[in-house]
Amino acid sequence: MTITEFLDAIHWIDRTPLRDHLEKQPYCRRILVNALGTFDEDGRPRHNLVVDGAGKKNFKSARLVLAGTYCTLAPSPGGNQCYLLANDEGQAGDDLELAKKLIEANPALKKLLVVRQKVIERRDGRGFLQILPAKDVAGAHGKTYRFAGFDEIHEYRTWDLLEAMQLDPTRLDAQMWIASYASIYHKPGVPLFDLCAQGWAGQDARMFFSWYGGDKTTDAAFAEADPETRANPSRDSWADQGYLEQQRRRLPAHKFRRLHLNLPGLPEGSAFQPEPVMSAIDRTCVDHPPEPGVQYQAFIDMSGGSSDDAVLAIGYQDPDGRAIVARVLNQGPPPPFDPIKAVERFVPILGEYGVSSVVGDAYAGETFKSAFESRGISYRVSRLTKSRLYEALEPPLNGFRVLLPNIPEVEQQLLGLVWRGGKIDHPGGEHDDYANAVAGVVHVLLGSQVVELEMWAAGERLASRSADQIQAAADESARIAREESARMVLDTVRRDGWYRGGG
């Protein structure tokens, strides 16, 4: 039985022929047939990974249940072990109910399958379709299967579950199917972000990538459509043609964009928007080697070595006034590590860039100041908290005045920062060492320019303060910028020896 024969033979849950519904949504048939019905010369499925993305209410779960049901029945030499892992209990219940209704509507399926509490079994004992919340299989490893489907992975923040459920290389017909709308965590290292990046790159011949979003789509038939239609290819089949407009009125804008335009978002309270951060990344460069005649500055986020990284960022200001972050590196060995070994690692690199003074936080009092200065590097404590450094980073970042190296930790941590209790910080259980070092060196490089841009960009925040508060904040920021600029000049004079002889 081929997938085409399966789709033409069964009824939908309303007991009308499924092919009639697919005629109204021809893209659905194309996805199912291309993903499950194309094979290599050796007979294996051409695609062993399917990524199926669209806005809500676009038949994604239905396609997943249909795919899982077909793979439970189609001949397979290794047996038909099939799993459908939903995002949560509610989603699992909906998927199971849909599968049950599909079987109930088809006497031919009822002859082959029997419905249990959370599993649908073949009557001949050769396979099953088990539908579970993803958390029920977290930590599972070594499963062999014909089909593993994941419904709505937009809340996955790590690869843990997907890694545990990777394909068995001994099963030539094994397939993984992922259906979702856009992730709330839009940054490298998040599964849906990484999978979409791979899909758009088009370099994985065994991935079938189908995506319908308000900004772009893989389907040429919808490429020129308006954003709402481009993200909702089933829209013409909806009985309520006013549904999207209703949702636009009822939902906050950022939720409507993610749910119904299939555009990525960030957690509520995110400090930075994704576009400026991602635009600042130089995708062609991990670091810039030192260049003669360039004056470099550095900022360091030190660590006690138990859990956080120690991170050094080195940069310079180019002729256009941009802050170019040339090098970002950590202590080398992962935590736990000896923080003094980190100092020993950083000092020679500072020397390569001609840097004789670093700015850092006040962590561990005088310990690291002494460690650096005993090795010939002066250590100045930043007058700004890390939250203020992040606030100061936003204006030049939004103004395209920052260039960052292509280091995943930098991008991930900047995009993960959130407002917590009136301050910008990392979420619990995450880190911001790379982000802090980068924000610090940008402030050191741009100095008073950052202050001016911040004052300009923070109009709404300043509007809530009194005139005296605004003036006091401006005076303090200007004083800090003057002091740090003066220190930079003094460090340069001392480094180059201009003070000798009074010249």
Q: How long a stretch of residues is the chain?
A: 503
Beta-carbon contacts of 265 under 8 Å, excluding residues fewer than 6 positions away, are 182, 183, 184, 186, 254, 255, 257, 258
* Residue 472 confidence (pLDDT): 56
Task: Give the C-alpha separation, 503 to 22, whole Å.
Answer: 84
Pick the more confident residue, 188 or 290. 290
Task: Give the C-alpha separation, 195 to 203, whole Å.
Answer: 12
Q: What is the mean pLDDT of residues 315-339?
A: 95
Does residue 343 surpass a pLDDT of 70?
yes
- What are 482-489's contacts with CB under 8 Å, separation 24+? 482/448, 483/383, 484/359, 484/380, 484/383, 484/444, 484/447, 485/447, 485/448, 487/357, 487/380, 488/297, 488/357, 488/444, 488/447
Q: What is the mean pLDDT of residues 283-288?
A: 91
Q: What is the mean pLDDT of residues 18-22?
A: 96
Q: Residue with structure tokens 């779960």?
A: 61
DSSP 290-352: --TT---EEEEE---SSSSPPEEEEEEE-TTS-EEEEEEEE-SSPSS--HHHHHHHHHHHHHH
Does residue 342 surpass a pLDDT of 50?
yes
Does residue 269 surpass a pLDDT of 70?
yes
Task: Give the C-alpha separation, 299 to 360, whole Å.
Answer: 5
* Residue 134 confidence (pLDDT): 79
Task: Give the C-alpha separation, 391 to 423, whole Å.
Answer: 9
SS3 121: strand
365 pLDDT band, cuts 50/70/90, is low
Does residue 490 surpass a pLDDT of 80?
no
Pick the more confident residue, 416 or 203. 203
* Residue 288 confidence (pLDDT): 95
Structure tokens at 116: 């249990």
* Residue 252 confidence (pLDDT): 74
* Residue 34 confidence (pLDDT): 97
Q: Residue with structure tokens 């360091």?
A: 300
411 pLDDT band, cuts 50/70/90, is confident
Do 156 and 88 form a contact (C-beta atoms < 8 A)?
no
List 82's β-bridge partners, or say none: 129, 147
Task: Give the C-alpha separation, 234 to 232, whole Å.
Answer: 5
Q: Out of 207-216, 317-326, 418-427, which region has the weakest mean confidence (pLDDT)?
A: 418-427
Task: Give the C-alpha separation, 118 to 126, whole Å.
Answer: 17
pLDDT per residue over 235-244, tens digit each?
A: 999 999 999 9
Do 144 and 171 form a contact (C-beta atoms < 8 A)?
yes
* Residue 412 confidence (pLDDT): 81
Task: Give the C-alpha separation, 379 to 457, whole Å.
Answer: 31
pLDDT per residue over 376-407, tens digit each?
A: 999 999 989 999 999 999 999 999 999 999 99
Task: Give the C-alpha separation, 466 to 456, whole Å.
Answer: 16
Task: Give the C-alpha separation, 295 to 72, whole Å.
Answer: 65
* Residue 492 confidence (pLDDT): 43
139 phi-psi bin (left φ>0, alpha ψ -120 to 50, beta other)? left
* Residue 479 confidence (pLDDT): 57
Structure tokens at 462: 């300043």
Domains of the chain are 3-260 (3.40.50.300), 275-496 (3.30.420.240)
Per-residue burial over 350-361, b if 16 or more Cβ lie within 10 Å, else e, is beebbbbbbbbb
Does residue 82 surpass a pLDDT of 60?
yes
Q: Residue with structure tokens 């840097």?
A: 355
430 pLDDT band, cuts 50/70/90, is confident
Residue 478 CA: distances (Å) to CA of 173, 447, 455, 459: 66, 9, 11, 17
Does residue 97 surpass a pLDDT of 90?
yes
Q: Out of 51-60, 161-170, 434-443, which region has the weakest mean confidence (pLDDT)?
A: 161-170
Per-residue burial over 199-216, b if 16 or more Cβ lie within 10 Å, else e, is beeeeeeebbbbbbbbee
Handedness of CA 487, 493, 497, 501 (dihedral sign): negative
* Residue 119 confidence (pLDDT): 94
pLDDT per residue over 433-445, tens digit each?
A: 999 999 999 999 9
* Residue 452 confidence (pLDDT): 41
138 pLDDT band, cuts 50/70/90, is low
* Residue 459 confidence (pLDDT): 47
Q: What is the mean pLDDT of residues 248-256?
A: 82
SS3 26: helix
- The winner for highest mean pLDDT among 182-191, 377-386, 471-480 is 377-386
- The DSSP bridge pattern shows strands 175-180 and 147-151 to be parallel
Q: Of 78, 114, 81, whose CA–CA distance to 99 is shortest?
A: 114
Structure tokens at 494: 């001392």
